[in-house]
A and B are shown apart, each in its own frame.
Chain A
Amino acid sequence: MRSVLRRIWVVFAKESIDNLRDRRSVSMAMIYPFVGPVLMGALIAFVGDTITELPNSSFTLPIQGAERAPALVAYLEENNVAVVVAPEDPRDAVRIGRIDTALVIPDDYAENFGAERQATVNLVVDGSRLSAVVAMSRALYALSEYSARVSAGRLTARGLDLSIAHPVEIKQINVALGRNLTGFFLNMVPPFLIFTIFIGGVYLTIDTTSGERERGSLEPLLANPVARWELMLGKALAAFAFTMMAVIAQLIAFKLVFEVITGGDLGLDVDIGFGLFVVMFLISLPLMAFAVAVQLIIATLTHSFKETQTYLGLLPLVPSLPGLVLVFVSIAAHPWMMAIPTFGQTLLIGQLVRGEPLGALSVAIACVTTGLAAGALLLLAAKLYERDALLFGE
């Protein structure tokens, strides 16, 4: 038993040292993981600001034909809306993104308004841009408030009750645990992390499997007094170590980015302390083993280095996809979902970053099933290593 462990260790040590000297392996494990967090930090810094502006902060609304509606303009200015003159062609200006939105007051507005008929104003928007959507809702809110106030005045003048014109009053209750939209971006943590788990050890796996065969070093290696499954396990452990490095690098990057961007306050009821990241790491461990096993099997079955590179380069997208969807769509997590490797972890890490409590049963199901699946796949990889075809890549 001791000599078995020793041989596995010898293979592990060799592959680790060899790949620490490889720029590509190291960048997969040490540089790639930073891309996600940095990207997310930039998003929070730039887009997050636009979205999280508080409703009573000032907001600029370009208006065309402001002179036709002095009362409306006065009301807007009273309510923290900076009114500016809209460009010549407001539609064009909105379309090209020079301004977010514009209010166009038509020629007949004053006449209709004065006669207490329904008067129309046009709000020019581009619904496909996020920042424009925010501006649009601010403008709509201000305009409907104005409309309500005018109708209230007119009804009162006629001695009627307000509820006739407004049978339903709408009050928003925001149930997000956080105070702002940064939480939306936090939902991107799970897909980024899953991606890293599946990319961290990829180059090492390719190099030690397809690469070993292609450079002709596999055959002499197989003639040594080492069982093939021992070789396989040594290589798998090295890939696992590199995956672990990548995950740790990314978690550190996430923590740093959160702290720098938000000054340690995400505006969430989530404690982004050390403990959160440790729990994320522990939950990811069985999935790392699973990812390495999948990579090993693919690398063993493919014919060439290039082919392996293609498959394994695309592989991380698959398990990350559900997580990306969950950024926009929320689902109720059921315990059975935890049994699906990668998906269970996506859900659990999502719950963690949103500050929701983790169910012990869910964690147990996710860890045990993924761990068992990883074990089964490693057994399969060991079987594949026993074939003559290992030598020829068939």
Chain B
Amino acid sequence: MIEVEGLEKSFKTVQALRGVSFAASDGEITGLIGPNGAGKTTTLRILYTVLRPDRGSARIDGFDSRREPREVQRRIGVLADSRGLYPRLTAREHVRYFGRLHGLAGASLEARIDELVRMLDMNDIADRRTKGFSKGQTMKVALARALVHNPHNVLLDEPTNGLDVGAARAVRDLIRRIRDEGRCVLFSSHIMSEVEELCDKLVVVGHGVVLANGTVAELRARTGKHDLEEAFLRATETGPETGAP
């Protein structure tokens, strides 16, 4: 369960968020969509505790990301905006490192790593050092380490960005699987077809505010457009009326 209320955040001269509010429920995939610079990554970064908001609150399962970051971090799996790996560690060692930071250890941790290796089809790369990994291979490692502690809430920043068709589909399948286990998935994207195919709920952001919020069908109905891309453009165009410049 993710709840965001009145989130504001400025960087020097740029006001990235001007009061973002939305919620993402368990057992649902919520898509955070919007053009580049809309505030998607900043919102996610506040949720996964690496940035602090100027105002407003971000809560995961009721815990505030600013006041109780440790509780929040225990409950989230994060595919961050940057997903760099350690070139001298193997894929398996990456997952093990994050597992240990989550307090896992021993046989149960190793079993969980094996499970992720199978689930993400990483057998061929699991024991290779990650130097020279392709984007798809890097993504698998980043996902595996994000999920090692079986988090109830999964935050993914543009998870299919830069992946080829096959890898992107594998990621989408994984996202559905996580949802079907009753967990809460929040992911950002700017690819309409992907959002349309995958999301139960949509949160459209632009200029640091939420422009529209609802299911795909609701959004279509509200904008009067059947094509979601049209609806999306419509929503971002109406931005000024909802408070953005």
Interface, chain A (partner B; CB < 8 A):
3, 6-7, 10-11, 14, 17-18, 21-22, 215-227, 388, 391
Contacts and interface: CB of A to CB of B under 8 A. Distances in A.
A26 B74 CA distance: 35
Contact of B84 (A7, A11, A217, A224): A217
Contact of B146 (A10, A21, A220): A220
B174 interface: no
Interface in B98-138: 98, 100-103
B82 A216 contact: yes
A223 B78 contact: yes
Nearest to B75: A225
Q: Main secondary structure on chain A at its contact with chain B?
A: helix
A227 B86 contact: no
B231 to A, nearest CB: 32
Contacts of A219: 45, 50, 80-82
Interface string B70-105: 100110101111111111110001000110111100
B37 to A, nearest CB: 16
13 contacts: A3-B103, A7-B103, A14-B93, A18-B88, A217-B86, A219-B50, A220-B98, A223-B49, A223-B78, A224-B73, A388-B51, A388-B52, A391-B51
Contacts of A391: 50-51
Interface residues of B, number: 32
Interface in B150-198: none
Nearest to B89: A18
Given A10-B97, A14-B89, A223-B78, 14 more contacts: A10-B101, A215-B84, A215-B85, A217-B84, A217-B85, A218-B82, A219-B50, A220-B79, A220-B82, A220-B98, A225-B73, A388-B50, A388-B52, A391-B51
Contacts of B83: 216, 220
Contact of B86 (A7, A18, A222, A223): A18
Given A3-B103, A10-B97, A223 B80 contact: yes
B29 to A, nearest CB: 20
Contacts of B51: 388, 391
B142 interface: yes
Interface of B: 45, 48-52, 70, 73-74, 76, 78-89, 93, 97-98, 100-103, 142, 145-146
A14 B96 CA distance: 10
A216 B84 contact: yes
Contact of B145 (A17, A220, A227): A220
Nearest to A224: B101
Contacts of B85: 215, 217
A225 B70 contact: yes
A86 B103 CA distance: 82
A223 B100 contact: no
Nearest to B146: A220
A22 B87 CA distance: 10
A225 B84 contact: no
Nearest to A22: B88
Give the residue among B48, B97, B142 with the most A Cβ atoms within 10 A. Answer: B97
Contacts of B80: 219-220, 223
User: 3 smallest A-B Cβ distances: which pairs?
Assistant: A216-B84, A216-B82, A225-B73
A224 B98 contact: yes
B88 A21 contact: yes
Nearest to A19: B88
A11 B100 CA distance: 9
A221 B146 CA distance: 10
A17 B129 CA distance: 13
B103 A220 contact: no
Nearest to B77: A223
Contacts of B74: 225
